[in-house]
Amino acid sequence: MYQVKSVDKLIGELNKLPGIGEKTAERLSFFILKNSRENVERLADSLREVKEKVRFCSVCGNITEDDPCRICKDETRDRATICVVEHPQDLFLLERVRQYRGLYHVLGGAISPLKGVGPEDVNIGSLLKRVKQGKVTEIILATDPNTEGEATAIYISKLISPHKVKVTRLAYGLPVGGDLEFADEVTLGEALKGRRDISS
């Protein structure tokens, strides 16, 4: 490496981040070396701060600085609908659509026997508790549209079925703005199955 201990250490630490290879870690380190001390302090501080301040909402499992989180506390939202997502990122993505006004539940992952993630490793228990309180009328399952997300959705829907709550799943279909040509067969099959009447 660079035989300057603290530089090599920084390169090593940056190299541990996802998508940051050794070359990128080196480039970032030299950028940091050139950067002002204040800027680097600010970055180091914000790394620490995020670990100190951010916790998971005790109600929905979303990341937050205050517990419960902003969305769970928001009295203007539809408290009868819960949208279930795998990760906090998914929640924020849905929020950007500005269409959904209900509450959320963040699982923190999907059930995956292959990866050794069982139902007890994701926040399903707390979801069931929310359902049992009796105020929820619809659960929207917005887990990822892949094998694990699908398996998680089926598992949750079966678990909730005795509770007389409507359980829905995000629609499968063609991505808007894409080409039919690039759609895979499974997606196309789902789009056909889920076709909607537009004649009226």
**Interface with its own copies (CB under 8 A), residue from 40, 159, 188, 191:** 40
**For residues 8 and 150, which CB has a smaller minimum distance to its own copies in the complex?**
8
Q: Nearest 5°: CA angle at 18, between 177 and 106? A: 65
**Interface with its own copies (CB under 8 A), residue from 22, 42, 128, 186:** 42
Q: What residues contact 141, with CB distance under 8 A and at least 6 apart?
A: 84, 152, 153, 156, 157, 167, 168, 169, 170
With tokens 């204040």, the residue in question is: 38
193 binds its own copies (CB under 8 A): no
Is the CB of residue 133 less than 8 Å from the CB of residue 105? no
Q: Shortest approach of its own copies to residue 39 CB, angstroms?
A: 7
Tell which positions 8-37 bind its own copies, by CB under 8 A.
Answer: 9-10, 12-14, 16-20, 24, 26-33, 37
Given its phi and psi angles, is residue 117 left (phi above 0), alpha (psi -120 to 50 degrees) or beta? beta
Q: Shortest approach of its own copies to residue 199 CB, angstroms?
A: 31
50 binds its own copies (CB under 8 A): yes
Tell which positions 87-116 bind its own copies, by CB under 8 A.
Answer: 87-89, 92
Report the alpha-carbon distance of residue 59 to residue 24 in Å, rounded: 39
**Interface with its own copies (CB under 8 A), residue from 21, 22, 53, 101:** 53
The rounded Cα 118 to chain-centroid distance in angstroms is: 18
DSSP codes of every residue in 133-171: TS---EEEE---SSHHHHHHHHHHHHHHGGG--EEEEPP
**Interface with its own copies (CB under 8 A), residue from 21, 22, 41, 101:** 41
The site for its own copies (CB under 8 A) is made up of 2-7, 9-10, 12-14, 16-20, 24, 26-33, 37, 39-54, 63-65, 70, 87-89, 92
